[in-house]
Amino acid sequence: MRLSPALSVTLVGAAATFVGCSRSNAGAEPAPQASTPPPPAAPAPTTPPNALPMPSASVDAVVNPANLPPYDGPTGSVEGTVFVKGAESPDVPDLDFHACPAALDTYRKLFRAGPPREDGQRPLADAVVVVTGYSGYYVPEKAPSQLVVISATCAYLQRTLALTFGQRLDVLNDSKLSFAPYLQGSGDVTVMIAPPERHGEAVKIYPTRAAYFGLRDRLQTFVHGDVLVLRHPLHAVTDLQGHFRIDGVPVGKLSVGAKLVPIQAEATKDVVVRANVVENVDLVLTYAPKPPVPAARNAKRPQIW
């Protein structure tokens, strides 16, 4: 049984008194003194999830280069809508949809936006949203991989994918066509086939650095998406209604940012996150077209957070 410090002191004092009263007993053994408990051991460093073909120390050097402790305090959530204002989304030229006309709804336009509100702003799909601005600790990723599905309409549900460095991307295929997804700019020349209607295992893609990659396909060339591999897990991608939500956000004054790669637009807002509270943050991006449209797709590689 482990004794409290106060109880240890009391018992040690009582033992000393007892020994003092028993000096006449020859050969009496002195009562043992209570030892000071050793200091608690320092917590072992937290290793982030690593599904990549590299040492975990290499992943840790990117997501936690200062060897900071993981955050273990109270958290809240950030939720909101990303809107876009400005010109309408133009068509992307030179895409061939004859193999699957249903994919037109996802890939025909430079970006996807909903109907305008009274102020002209439209909910923006596929924008990546991140929470930044914390210091003194790091927030570890929890999942080693992300699963995405090519739908029956031959399209990913989101044209932007956001991963944390160390995660693997798994791709399943619900369509009737075969797909061969890859990350443009990754240097990987391996051809991996996602068979139709999930007749096979998921294609596994391993981003080997925190960077921007184009999501392309060697068989279905109409596919064009964006993959952002980030250094932290506080990110989300907006749905067709422009909505996002990020849970597990540390409390305090932080920053919320949104970006859409195809239009090279971003916006940020400050937010004070409170424990067990959902903070609402709406952001507005501006689309200012720069003709010709292909230049927007082939511009210099975007910077990530």
15 pLDDT exceeds 50? no
* CA–CA separation, 129 and 281 (whole Å): 11
Note whether residue 302 is domain-resident.
no
**Rounded mean pLDDT of the chain?**
86
Note whether residue 163 is domain-resident.
yes
Please give the pLDDT value at position 4.
43
Same domain, 83 and 127: yes
User: What tokens appear for 94 in the block?
Assistant: 């030179």
* CA–CA separation, 268 and 248 (whole Å): 19
300 pLDDT exceeds 70? no
Count Cβ atoms below 10 Å from residue 269 Cβ, excluding itself. Answer: 15
Percentage with pLDDT > 70 across the chain: 80
Same domain, 104 and 216: yes
Q: What is the pLDDT of residues 110-163, one digit of tens each?
A: 999 999 999 999 999 999 999 999 999 999 999 999 999 999 999 999 999 999
70 pLDDT exceeds 90? yes
Q: In the structure, what pLDDT confidence band is assigned to residue 205 with cuts at 50, 70 and 90?
A: very high
Q: In the structure, what pLDDT confidence band is assigned to residue 7 with cuts at 50, 70 and 90?
A: very low
Please give the pLDDT value at position 32.
52
Q: What is the pLDDT of residues 234-293, one digit of tens each?
A: 999 999 999 999 999 999 999 999 999 999 999 999 999 999 999 999 999 999 987 664
Note whether residue 189 is domain-resident.
no
Same domain, 13 and 112: no
Supply the pTM of this predicted model.
0.80
Please give the pLDDT value at position 255.
98
Domain span holding position 21: 5-41
Q: Can you say how many angstroms the Cα of residue 137 is from the centroid of all Cα atoms in its chain?
A: 16
Nearest Cα to Cα of residue 156 among 229, 83, 226, 213: 226
CATH of residue 260's domain is 2.60.40.10
Q: In the structure, what pLDDT confidence band is assigned to residue 21 with cuts at 50, 70 and 90?
A: very low
Same domain, 221 and 132: yes
* CA–CA separation, 227 and 186 (whole Å): 11
Same domain, 13 and 116: no
Q: What is the pLDDT of residues 175-202, one digit of tens each?
A: 999 999 999 988 887 899 999 999 999 9
User: What tokens appear for 106 in the block?
Assistant: 């996802």
Note whether residue 265 is domain-resident.
yes
